[in-house]
Chains A and B, each alone.
Chain A
Amino acid sequence: MNADMIIAEIKNYIEKNILDKSVHIDAATNLKKAGIDSFSTVEIILFIERKFGVAIPDEKLIPDNFNTLQSLSATVLELMPDTN
Chain B
Amino acid sequence: MESIINPLVLYLVCALGALALALALPRRNDKLAIVGGVVLAITLGLAALGLTSAAKSSGQDTPNLFFYIFAIIALGSSARVITHPRPVYSALYFILSIIASAGLYVLLSAEFMAFALVIIYAGAILITYLFVIMLATQQPTEASKQILDETDAVAREPILASAIGFVMLAVLTSAMFNGLSDLRAPKGMDTAQDSVLVQLPRKVDRILHRAGVINDDERVARADDGTALLDIANRTIVVENEDLGTTRVLEPDQWPDTLTAGNLDRLGYNLMHDHPMTIEIAGVILLMAMLGATVLARKHIELEDELKAAQARKLGPSLTLPPRRKSASQGGDA
Q: Are the chains A and B members of one assembly?
A: no
Tell me the A residues contacting B by CB distance below 8 Å: none
Tell me the B residues contacting A by CB distance below 8 Å: none
